[in-house]
């Protein structure tokens, strides 16, 4: 068994998959872009990237049989992180363009940002405030850090305990969410310099720790 986790970037035809793969490889894990179900089932962790509209993203996931696979892997407590649109797809539903159902891994909805007159889409660096501790934010500044955002809609978890961090652009909204081993970030860690890379390194560590725990449990029978 490799001493590096294997992380699969889910290829459903949307998002900057290659830049996510390169960023992951830079911080240590083996990373592959794939839509092959066997590879996705064998990976130690999954990344759901994404740029674009929620209904189209879900349509692609469903057509490729990937939505069901991601839900099944989450049920197995496989670490999963959604990035940008990928984070939004983790929630139950969205109002973007038309009502659409999401993966339902984190209770809540996706609605348009109330920007208070600021330009939409929200593009650029925004200070992220950490609301509660999480293994995803280990070794990052305790009060928060800037990350690069590109979006017009935001996830609204039903349970505030699922909100790890927030940011403000006209209004304050969730920008890091988590429930169990399912994580989501509204920003692009692969474009967010050293803090973004540190977050991806943390995710790789979560994958490695989960693999070690699974192996120990199997050995105990």
Q: Which residues are catalytic?
A: 84, 188, 190
Residue 4 has a CB neighbour count (10 Å cut-off) of 15
According to DSSP, residue 190 is labeled G
Based on DSSP, count helices (H) and strands (E) in the chain, helices before strands: 6, 13
Q: How far is CA 27 from the centre of its chain?
A: 17
- Structure tokens that stand for 71 in this block: 């839900």
CA–CA dist 145, 176 (Å, integer): 12
CA–CA dist 194, 172 (Å, integer): 24
């Amino acid at each position: 068994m490799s001493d590096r986790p294997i992380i699969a970037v889910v290829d459903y035809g949307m998002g900057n998959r290659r830049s996510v793969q390169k960023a992951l490889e830079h911080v240590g894990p083996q990373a592959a872009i794939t839509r092959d179900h066997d590879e996705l089932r064998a990976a130690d962790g999954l990344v759901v990237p994404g740029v674009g509209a929620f209904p189209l993203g879900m349509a692609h996931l469903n057509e490729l049989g990937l939505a069901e696979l991601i839900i099944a892997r989450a049920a197995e407590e496989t670490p999963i992180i959604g990035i940008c649109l990928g984070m939004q797809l983790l929630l139950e539903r969205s109002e973007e363009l038309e009502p659409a159902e999401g993966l339902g891994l984190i209770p809540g909805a996706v609605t348009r940002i109330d920007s208070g007159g600021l330009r939409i889409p929200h593009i650029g660096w925004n200070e992220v405030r950490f609301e509660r501790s999480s293994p995803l934010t280990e070794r990052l500044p305790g009060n928060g850090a800037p990350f690069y955002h590109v979006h017009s809609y935001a996830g609204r978890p039903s349970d505030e305990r699922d909100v790890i961090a927030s940011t403000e652009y006209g209004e304050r909204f969730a920008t890091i969410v988590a429930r169990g081993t399912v994580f989501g970030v509204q920003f692009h860690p692969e474009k967010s310099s050293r803090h973004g890379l540190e977050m991806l390194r943390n995710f790789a560590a979560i994958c490695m720790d989960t693999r070690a725990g699974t192996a120990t449990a199997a050995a105990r029978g």
